[in-house]
Amino acid sequence: MKKKWFWFAGLFVALVLAGVVSNFASSSPDGLDAAARQGCTFNADDEITGGTCMAQQEKDHQLGGSPLADYGIKGIDNPYVSTGLAGVAGVLITFAIGGGLFWVARRRTHV
């Protein structure tokens, strides 16, 4: 295996996971969210109808209106395309920001 291929392959796998496989992820509440909902009852629209639980105290996100909020792209109606493109954007942004900062912060061998 050529050494350079690793980077392309790694990024490609991340893009496919976030861009395609993400559409097949479970939409059930995750462990934390499930614990937060414990003690309350919910109606068909997922609104709290009674009881006491942590989720009652949840406040809206300050940046909830962001164009990528909730892993979708605002304005794209097809849910698969919206989630997929948001995932691809997230991977590229994370790689660019993370990789960029780590590169800037790296230890120079000859300084």
Partner 1 sequence: MDVRAMHIANGIVNGPVSAIFAVFAVAALAYCVRRGRADLDERLAPMAGLVAAFIFAVQMLNFQVLPGVSGHLLGGTLAVILVGPWVGALCVSTVLIVQCLLFADGGLTALGLNITNMALLGTAAGYLLVVGLLKVFKNLGATALIASVVSVVVASQGFVLEYALGGTTSLSLSTIAGTMAGVHVLIGIGEGLIAATTVATVARVRPDLVYALRRFRTPAPVEVAA
Per CB under 8 A, residues contacting partner 1 are: 1, 3, 6-7, 10-11, 13-15, 17-18, 21-23, 25-36, 38-39, 52-64, 66, 68-72, 79-80, 83, 86-87, 90-103, 105-107, 109
Residue 20, SS3?
coil
Q: How far is the CB of 43 from partner 1 (least distance, A)?
A: 15
Residues 14 and 7: their CA atoms lie apart, in Å, by 11
Question: Facing residues of 48 across strands?
Answer: 42
Torsion angles phi and psi, residue 93, rounded to 5: -65, -45
Residues 79 and 87: their CA atoms lie apart, in Å, by 12
Tell me how crowded residue 74 is: count the other CB atoms within 10 A of its CB. 12
Q: How far is the CB of 74 from partner 1 (least distance, A)?
A: 11
Of the pair 1, 44, the CB lying nearest partner 1 is at: 1
Q: How far is the CB of 82 from partner 1 (least distance, A)?
A: 9
Q: How far is the CB of 81 from partner 1 (least distance, A)?
A: 11
Residue 54 in tokens: 């942590």
